Amino acid sequence: MTCNFELPHYRELLEAAKAGGYRFTHFGDDPQPGDLFLRHDVDLSLPAAIRMAELEADAGVSTTYLLMTESVFYNLTSHEGVAAIHRLRDLGHAVGLHAVHPNVALDPRFDPVVSWHNPRPEFIAADIPGAVNAYGTRYFSPATYRSDSNQHWRSGCPHDDLRAGVFPWLQVLIHPAIWVYPGETMGETMRAMVAAESERRFEQLVADGIDL
Ligand SMILES: [Zn+2]
Ligand SMILES: [Zn+2]
């Protein structure tokens, strides 16, 4: 098995977690032995989120997508944004808020679960009235947390440990764009994403009646 940040290996990670006996769980109750809280902070790309969500549904897995209302990269109130939420729900996933501190504008689009965008130590673990904080102390400790941030697993790719059932329970943060767009490094992956977005922009311009 080759560890990379591409969708076939993401699928292998999901299968490893299943083989290790983990149970895909949504945020809400305290972690129980065997729980796997698989969370996606959607910082950059709704199309990447949908692609990953479809792969997960195909694998029979339900995870948590945390979407931004204040992203500079996508507009959740556009027709694309509204359709994306519906699609994620239809595929059986939970949808929460990826919030920019201190704004927690939860509305009926979201389940009451929040992760902070670019969290800082002074507020990361604080209680959030009316919502579960994915970075709260009960969910967030180094031994039971793994993240693919900047296309780098600080403690190595967790697939072996998942398959072996090493973690008592685990929260994993996966950023869809990293896995959907090709690239050996975060920089390469971001360049591929921007190139794809450029294509999409021209399609949107045509759809908007712009004479190219
Ligand atoms: Zn791996
Ligand atoms: Zn973020």
Confidence (pTM): 0.97
Q: For 189-209, what is the mean pLDDT? A: 97
CA atoms within 13 A on the CB side of 8: 5
- Cis status, amide bond into 142, omega within 30 of 0: no
The neighbourhood of ligand 2, an ion, using CB within 5 A, equals: 41, 43, 117
- From ligand 2's centre to the CA of 210, what distance in Å? 32
Q: What is the pLDDT of residues 98-140, one digit of tens each?
A: 999 999 999 999 999 999 999 999 999 999 999 999 999 999 9
- From ligand 1's centre to the CA of 157, what distance in Å? 5
- Angle (CA) 101 107 109, round 5°: 110
- From ligand 1's centre to the CA of 69, what distance in Å? 32
- From ligand 2's centre to the CA of 68, what distance in Å? 8
- From ligand 2's centre to the CA of 91, what distance in Å? 22
- From ligand 2's centre to the CA of 211, what distance in Å? 35
Q: Which residues contact 113 (CB under 8 A, 6 or more apart)?
A: 26, 27, 28, 64, 66, 94, 96, 97, 131, 132, 134
